[in-house]
Amino acid sequence: MLDGTLRPKIDPVLNAIARRLAAVGITANTVTVLGLFIGALAGLAILFEYYLLGLVLLLVSRLCDGLDGAVAQITGSTDFGGYIDIVFDFAFYGLIPLAFILANPSANAVAGGVLLFSFYVNGASFLAFAIMAEKRQLKTDKRGKKSFFFTTGLAEATETFAVFSAFCLFPAYFSPIAYVFAAVVFYTAAVRIWQSKALLN
């Protein structure tokens, strides 16, 4: 929901950094891989209950997630780059709740499982629509230039990062935050399915 509002504000900064990275030969795919690697380090920090370190690493990982697209616009985007971007994003979104589950299974396992299931359903609604949109040659640039049709929703990258940050800042409240956000994610998937019915019939 907030991605569209924030993009015009952060894009000039990302583009300036991207120009410097491209000038020294760093590719978009390198930034994508680095983002996942740093995200994995964030998960590792959370697993060992270094939550503030995990938060810092989360921030750097998501910076990379924004930068790879900006670099790709300068150096040229590829289908493979778009592919690994979405795969690695979903890997990251699963990794962080899993780290909290493993850090404290007795307190976090059920809520974390519900959250992961909501991500699974939402991801299926997101990617299945992208396939149908490609088949029908539907296009949109609402969330910037993407390699596929990028549908919007109540729970997007900004909201997910905010929730992951809340997990790190208030780890004792992981379960209630996870349940609330899972409900938001399920709602997002339901709305996407309803919208798809109108667009794909």
Q: Where are the domains of the chain?
A: 3-200
Model-level pTM?
0.84
Least confident residue range of 3-7, 67-71, 117-121, 153-157: 3-7
Q: What is the mean pLDDT of residues 148-152?
A: 47
Looking at 2.40.110.10, 3.40.50.2300, 3.30.590.10, 1.20.120.1760, the CATH number of the domain 3-200 comes to: 1.20.120.1760
7 closest CA partner among 157, 164, 189: 157
How far apart, in whole angstroms, are the C-alpha atoms of residue 160 and residue 25? 31
Question: End-to-end alpha-carbon separation of the chain, Å?
Answer: 25
| pLDDT band, residue 139 (cuts 50/70/90) | low
